[in-house]
Chain A
Amino acid sequence: MDRRHFLKFSAAGGALLTGCAPFQVKDTKAHVVVIGGGFGGATAAKTLRLLDANLKITLIEPKTQYVTCPGSNWLFAGITNLTQLSVDYRTLQVQYDIDLVTQSVATIERNIRQIRLTNGDSIGYDRLILSPGITFKWDAIAGYSAEIAAIFPHAWQAGLQTRILAQQLQAMPQGGVVLIVAPPDPYRCPPGPYERASMMACWIKQHNPRAKILILDSKRSFSKQRLFEAGWRANYGYGTANSLIEWHSLADNSINELHKASKTVISEFGDRFTGDVLNIIPAQMAANLAMHAGLTNPHGWCDINPLTSQSVEDDCIHVIGDAAQFTPMPKSAFAANSQAKACAMAVFNLIHQQPMSEPHWINTCYSLIAPEQGISVVGVYRLDDEKRRIIAVEGAGGVSHAFEEQISRSEAGYARSVYQNLIKNSFG
């Protein structure tokens, strides 16, 4: 039996996982390296420190400022800005004694448990936690690329592109058209494109009321659809000839080409859509680093053992967040935080050779339809009886009861409050 199958096999039985014994002698500190200072990585580093005062913990992240994707759609309604959406790593460094390395990882040399940074330095690890986020399948839309994304932003990694897209929206001629090309599953933040359409509609309703937002979707349905559509009917004339938002399902006829000069996107069967502002959100997969390290499956995501979040390819490496396959959990910051905590518990137990405790996860995604109207979706997750698969607990979770004035007003308040707590809980 090879190592990979041994891991799968032993994990299924819930036995103690071995095979990744520390290189070091027993009384030196174990070294856990975390790659990626997003929601997954920051929470993992912080939680590990709360569990273990003695570990050596290193966090590697190239950016000194991280702009949160959660909340970034609110920019389109003019109710936040990039400064308010930015966090740094000072608290993690100072208060949680985490060694911060402001560099990019070039390669993971798995055979010698060492990380090579792009500046040439190397860092050894006993256990590695990988939370590198996503990259885009650029070849899915001919004519679209990382360079063109500076002109037709995806804004699916918050930052400068988010601001550019908001400026394009604001500069659009009266009666202009915004095209949002929504990606196929799975992708980060399933309700994200529809919250974005809502926030853009909120802005054009005030400043450009003859304009229109067309969502061109490669899916047949979408997250919280019933609630979004009810909210759009109540606010944006959805379903009428003057609707500010139109949703077009292009299932089996996805957008696969961009004609840049004419600002036109073209579907497989040749349907053409022309707009003034193009927000193209391509299909996604785990960040390049995960693929180069040989940790991805044929679909581009990292398979893990959900009991411990260890990669099925390498039992010294744990993968969490958007890059990992935690189905049926959606890819969200909330989920990445929850996965990071279960992962930190598992890493702690493995290092101290203690029995595993049962992991528990929760996800909640709030979306704003208008600044004072919110909706939510919840999932409560645990392992199935065989401890092999993650299941959504039956009878729990689900979407907001209804789109109703009083409830949606409360949920808009909770959306802001949960955002603040999520940031504080993840970054210190």
Chain B
Amino acid sequence: MRWLLMWLLMTAQPVHAEFNPQSVVMNCLICHDSEKNSSSGEVPDLAGLTSAELHQALLDFKYDRRFATLMPRIAKGYSDAEIQAVADWLSQ
């Protein structure tokens, strides 16, 4: 599934540098600590979420279906296919 997706991403846009979800995810980790359980009021920790949950949350942020202070402004920066790849990468 992931490879099919990568292939789709790469063939959809004629780019010479390939899309790599790791390049996006490294930025998410500036705010989302991967090792710590966050307490309330802190940036939530993503460790426990499945790929499907991450995917749903990010699409909800992107399409303004879920209220949030910050994430909608970030999620709007990526195509739906990129969001899928990011969710897959993060959940591994």
Query: Taking beta carbons and an 8 Å cutoff, which residues of A are in contact with B?
Result: 13-15, 47, 307, 334, 337-338, 341-342, 345, 355-362, 364, 376, 378, 380, 382-383, 385, 387, 393, 395-398, 400-401, 407, 410-411, 413-414, 417-418, 421-422, 424-425
Contact = CB atoms under 8 A, between A and B. Distances in A.
Interface in B22-57: 22-24, 26-33, 38, 41-43
Given A387-B16, A417-B38, A425-B29, A360 B73 contact: no
Contacts of B75: 396
A360 B27 contact: yes
Contacts of B78: 380
A418 B43 contact: yes
B86 to A, nearest CB: 10
A26 B42 CA distance: 47
B78 to A, nearest CB: 8
Contact of A417 (B27, B29, B42): B42
A341 B20 contact: no
B1 to A, nearest CB: 20
Given A398-B73, A411-B69, 10 more contacts: A341-B27, A357-B22, A358-B18, A380-B76, A380-B78, A383-B17, A396-B74, A396-B75, A397-B73, A414-B42
Given A400-B69, A414-B70, A393 B76 contact: yes
Contact of A341 (B26, B32, B77): B26
B40 to A, nearest CB: 9
A330 to B, nearest CB: 15
Given A341-B26, A362-B27, A307 B17 contact: yes
Given A341-B26, A355-B18, A425-B29, A378 B43 contact: no
Given A364-B70, A387-B15, A337 B23 contact: no
B83 to A, nearest CB: 12
A305 to B, nearest CB: 12
Nearest to A401: B69
B73 A410 contact: no
Contacts of B19: 357-358
A358 B32 CA distance: 22
A400 B41 CA distance: 17
Contacts of A337: 30
A417 B41 contact: yes
Interface of B: 15-20, 22-24, 26-33, 38, 41-43, 69-70, 73-78
Given A341-B27, A376-B70, A396 B16 contact: no
Contacts of A382: 77
A349 to B, nearest CB: 9
A383 B19 CA distance: 11
B24 A360 contact: yes
A421 B34 CA distance: 10
A239 B17 CA distance: 51
B73 A396 contact: yes
A5 to B, nearest CB: 19
Contacts of A380: 73-74, 76-78
Given A380-B77, A397-B77, A342 B23 contact: yes
Contacts of A421: 30-33, 43
Contacts of A378: 70, 73-74
Contacts of A361: 27
A378 B73 CA distance: 7
Given A337-B30, A357-B20, A417 B43 contact: yes
Contacts of A342: 23
A14 B17 contact: yes
A14 B30 contact: no
Nearest to A362: B27
B4 to A, nearest CB: 18
Contacts of B15: 14, 358, 385, 387
Contacts of A400: 69
B32 to A, nearest CB: 7
| Residue of A307, A362, A397 with highest tally of chain B CB at under 10 A | A362
Nearest to A380: B77
A14 B10 CA distance: 14
25 contacts: A14-B15, A337-B30, A338-B27, A342-B23, A345-B20, A345-B26, A356-B17, A358-B19, A359-B23, A362-B77, A364-B31, A378-B70, A380-B73, A382-B77, A387-B16, A396-B73, A396-B75, A396-B76, A410-B69, A413-B41, A414-B42, A414-B43, A417-B31, A418-B31, A422-B31
